Each structure stands twice: as structure tokens, then as C-alpha cells.
Amino acid sequence: IIDDILDFSKIEAGHLELELRQFNLWNCAEESLEILAEEASSKGIELICDLDYAGPTALIGDVTRLRQVLVNLVTNAIKFTQEGEIVLSVSSTVLGSAESGEELRYRTEFSVRDTGIGIPEDRLEGIFGSFTQADTSTTRKYGGTGLGLAICQRLVALMGGEMTLKSKIGEGSDFRFTIESEGLFSTEFHHQQKAPRSLSKKKVLLVHGNDSARRVITELAAHRFAV
């Protein structure tokens, strides 16, 4: 709570400065889920990472703050979901060439979708406000301060993006945000990710009870095994 209040007042005072450093986008997404994997698994919730293998592997920006937003959204998703799945998806589109030369500018979209309790329609608009919760029983049932989303929305705005939300009561929520930054498609990194040649042209039998997990693992296998 103290961290939240400090972050919030720093942002409101206009004193939060973002770092501009190259970071690995895939690792950032995977690490954000890894931190919360045990919590999700103890509730029996499927936690899925859906990456865009054709997109950039590295972006230039503030990885700590990006991870903070992702961890916050996934923590909420776990908190407000009793069963089903949480899918973190990352996809990028090219905006044009970057000023610095070799790199390209990308818009990267992140989505954290859950199959949880959802948010009532009349609360959607105000949910990013500070100290706002979906209903008065939330604090009693789930705890929290109502600052997390306010901080996320402001951090995303500082990163040149925008956060939106779609939610249906009883069906789940989908929090999305975009950031704009320079990025790098590293063929060397892609190469390191490939499975050994000896495994190419082999058949894979994939058995999984969850549709989203099956789709994501199929894409991952296609990416890793393509020579």
C-alpha cells in the first residue's frame, strides 16, 4: 500500500521519469507471469502467455514499469477469477522506421484477459480513477485500495499509450494497453530459440484440456521447430 501511494503521488507530481533501455519483450512477459504462477496454480487457474513470434524481440523503454503494469493486471485477474483461464497476449505492429536508423518503431498491444467475475457496466468508466473499486463489498471481500489501476493507467500514458477495458459481469474482463517504442527483431535471438535440427520433421502429439493453452503451445512449437 505504501509503495502504491508513493508511486501515485510521484506520478501526480509529475516527477516520475521513465528509463529508456533495451529489454527483451518476451522475457518481460514471461517473467511477469512466472512471479504469479504459483498463486494461479493454487487456485487451479490456467495462466497462458500468448506471444507474437513475428514481432520484435526487444523494445526500448522502461522494463521495470512495464512489468509493474503487467504484474498488477495479472494479480487483479487472479484475484477476481475463481476458475478458468488468464491469457496475457502481446502483439506488435510496425509504425515506421525509427529516427536512429536500423531499428523500427512499433506499437505493441498487451491484453490481460480473464474468465473472472467481471465488472458491472456502470462501473467500467470510473474504474481507472484513484481509490475506485467496482462495488462497496470489494474491500471487504478482496481487500485492496483501488489505486492499482489508476497507477497502471498513468504509467501507460507516460509510455505513450492508452489503456482500455472490456468486461462482462459473470464472464470476465479484458484489460488492454498499447505502448509505442523503438524495437528490434533479432534473428540471432530467434535462432537461439530454435529446437535442435534433429527434432525437425518429427510429429508432435499435443494433449491439453484447455483450448487457449493448446493454441498457444501449437504456435510455440511451430515457431521453435520451423527451420
Element containing residue 60 per DSSP (H, E)? strand 58-61
Q: Which of residues 63-92 bind ligand ADP (CB under 6 A)?
A: 76-77, 80
110 touching ligand ADP, by CB under 6 A: no
153 touching ligand ADP, by CB under 6 A: no
The beta-carbon contacts of 221-227 under 8 Å, at least 24 apart in sequence, are 223/53, 223/193, 224/193, 224/194, 224/195, 225/194, 225/195, 225/199, 225/200, 226/194, 227/194, 227/197, 227/200
Q: Which of 144, 164, 214, 215 binds ligand ADP (CB under 6 A)?
A: 144
> What is the pairing mode between strands 163-168 and 85-97?
unpaired
CA nearest 41: which of 89, 90, 71, 78? 78
Q: Do 35 and 71 touch, CB atoms closer than 8 A?
A: yes
Which stretch, 33-41, 126-134, 181-189, 208-216, contacts ligand ADP (CB under 6 A)?
126-134
Nearer to ligand ADP, 119 or 184 (CB): 119
* Total residue length of the chain: 227
Nearer to ligand ADP, 101 or 170 (CB): 170
Nearer to ligand ADP, 1 or 206 (CB): 1
- Residue with the three cell numbers 467481471: 118
Q: How far is the CB of 145 from ligand ADP (least distance, A)?
A: 5
Element containing residue 48 per DSSP (H, E)? strand 46-50
Grid cell digits, residue 6: 508513493
Q: Which of residues 173-212 bind ligand ADP (CB under 6 A)?
A: 173
Q: Total residues at the site for ligand ADP (CB under 6 A)?
A: 21
Nearer to ligand ADP, 63 or 117 (CB): 117
Nearer to ligand ADP, 165 or 221 (CB): 165
Q: Which residues bind ligand ADP (CB under 6 A)?
A: 76-77, 80, 114, 116-119, 127, 132-134, 138, 144-150, 173
